[in-house]
């Protein structure tokens, strides 16, 4: 695909996933500058990105630590040259232990746990491989997904990790994913701080037991500013801020949408037109996408290969182009196998999305 470098946007086939590098640059500056000013590390979440080339680009712009949702994402990050990786999830089962141990010998790697049995399995795997793995206890601060309940329950688990050969107890994770899209900013902030008090309160209990806690991590794009600088928290883990989407932009308007899907008009009618991309190219799990820069044109339906756009008078003809901003950037990245990085209307890079379509 090197033949595309330098080509204008109009020369591209469609549908095509686009990343506007100028917008990404501005989003990165805003987040990394804020993290530095507030004294916290910004660990960029790779579940939103899934692209090794984009990770390298972020690394070159100051983002050297990353977060992965799954083991395969961490492997893609390591292959891209990232050396400080947290898997913000439980890695369980003998099928994954050999891969995890091999990765722990390549990079500074951490995982999350919430079960004693998992701690024992991780310890056995690291001992067998001669590797060392950093471990965080995940604390359930209200999402009701994974995690130990806040408070005393985390102390014996921390003690178990500390005594386990091949493991290093590093600290705690508490993710407030259930709060990210709360529209009212005051409500979002108040509930976020309730969770952070539970998380940092658990830190204090572990430290009281004589165990050092060096990492306390959490937050996402919707709550980062309420967590960055919160006493006792050392890092934040946003990811969607790099790409953004039309839903996240409603609660985080300071970050602009760098991701769009280039489409072509294939049919027109008096009150609507149809695009050549549907739900196989644009995620609709968070709602309808929007037509970039065209507020009078409303997307009302996505089928597998078509998008219907309604408007009072149709301003396009077959062959015209539209960019569509999805409602969920993470899920949309997962639908594509490559992305086209553009700057000022021309192709600057073509990157494979190595972790798309993988869930291991």
Q: What pLDDT, in 10s, does the model give residues 108-153?
A: 999 999 999 999 999 999 999 999 999 999 999 999 999 999 999 9
Alpha carbon of 30 to those of 19, 36, 37, 56, 123: distances in Å?
A: 18, 10, 11, 18, 39
pLDDT of residue 130: 98
**Average of pLDDT values for 145-163?**
98
Per-residue confidence band for 314, with pLDDT thresholds at 50, 70 and 90? confident
Residues 247/53, Cβ–Cβ less than 8 Å? no
Cα–Cα–Cα angle for 38, 39, 41, rounded to 5 degrees: 110
CA 53, 55, 56, 61 dihedral sign is positive
Note the pLDDT tens digit of each residue in 32-51: 999 999 999 999 999 999 99
- Mean pLDDT over 162-167 rounds to 99
SS3 for 153? Answer: coil
Between CA 354 and CA 144 the distance in angstroms is 30
Which H or E run contains 155?
helix 154-163
Residues 40-64, mean pLDDT to the nearest whole number: 98
pLDDT of residue 5: 97
What are the pLDDT digits (tens) for 7-36? Answer: 999 999 999 999 999 999 999 999 999 999
Q: For residues 148 and 142, give the distance between their C-alpha atoms in angstroms, rounded to a whole number.
A: 11
Ordered by where they begin, the domains of the chain are 21-242 (3.20.20.10)
- pLDDT single digits (tens) 70-110: 999 999 999 999 999 999 999 999 999 999 999 999 999 99
Contact between 266 and 297 under an 8 Å Cβ cutoff? The reply is no
* CA 312/CA 306 separation, integer angstroms: 20
DSSP 64-80: -EEEESSHHHHHHHHHT
Nearest to 286 by CA among 256, 252, 330, 328: 328
pLDDT at 2 over 90: no
> Token match 């951490």: residue?
110
Give the CA dihedral 31, 182, 288, 337, nearest 10 degrees.
Answer: 40
What is the C-alpha to C-alpha distance for residues 355 and 337, in angstroms, rounded to an integer? 9
User: In the prediction, which pLDDT does 222 show?
Assistant: 98
Q: How far apart are CA 172 and CA 131, in angstroms?
A: 21
Looking at residue 183, the DSSP 8-state letter turns out to be S
Instruction: Supply the DSSP string of 283-347, one letter for each residue.
Output: --TTS--EETT-TT-EEEEE-SS-EEEE-SS----TT-EEEEE-S-HHHHHTT-SEEEEEETTEE
Residue 1: pLDDT over 90? no
Residue 181 has pLDDT above 80, yes or no: yes
The whole-model pTM stands at 0.96
Computed over every residue of the chain, the mean pLDDT equals 98
């Amino acid at each position: 695909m090197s033949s595309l470098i330098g080509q204008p946007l109009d020369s591209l086939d469609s549908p095509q996933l686009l990343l506007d590098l100028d917008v990404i640059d501005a989003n990165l500056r805003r987040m990394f500058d804020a993290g530095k000013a507030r004294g916290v590390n910004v660990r960029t979440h790779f579940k939103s990105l899934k692209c090794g080339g984009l990770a390298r680009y972020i690394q070159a712009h100051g983002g050297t630590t990353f977060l992965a949702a799954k083991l395969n994402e961490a492997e893609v990050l390591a292959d891209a040259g990232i050396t400080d990786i947290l898997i913000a999830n439980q890695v369980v089962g003998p099928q994954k232990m050999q891969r995890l141990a091999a990765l722990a010998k390549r990079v500074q790697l951490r995982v999350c746990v919430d079960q004693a049995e998992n701690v024992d399995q991780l310890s056995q795997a690291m001992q067998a491989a001669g590797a060392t793995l950093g471990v965080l206890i995940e604390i359930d601060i209200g999402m009701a997904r994974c995690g130990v309940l806040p408070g005393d329950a985390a102390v014996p688990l921390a003690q178990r990790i500390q005594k386990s050969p091949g493991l290093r107890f590093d600290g705690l994770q508490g993710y407030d994913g259930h709060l990210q899209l709360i529209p009212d900013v005051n409500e979002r902030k108040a509930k976020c701080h309730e969770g952070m008090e539970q998380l940092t309160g658990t830190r204090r209990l572990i430290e009281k037991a004589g165990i050092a806690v060096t990492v306390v991590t959490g937050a996402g794009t919707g709550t980062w500013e309420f967590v960055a600088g919160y006493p006792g928290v050392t890092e934040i883990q946003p990811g969607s801020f790099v790409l953004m989407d039309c839903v996240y932009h409603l609660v985080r308007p300071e970050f602009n949408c760098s991701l769009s899907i280039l489409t072509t008009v294939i049919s027109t009618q008096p009150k609507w037109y149809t695009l050549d991309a549907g739900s196989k190219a644009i995620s609709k799990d968070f709602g309808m996408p929007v037509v970039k820069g065209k507020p009078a044109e409303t997307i009302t339906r996505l089928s597998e290969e078509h998008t219907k756009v309604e408007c009072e008078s149709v301003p396009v003809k077959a062959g015209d182009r539209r960019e569509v901003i999805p409602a969920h950037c993470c899920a949309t990245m997962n639908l594509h196998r490559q992305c086209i990085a553009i700057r000022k209307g021309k192709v600057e890079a073509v990157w494979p999305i190595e972790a798309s379509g993988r869930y291991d």
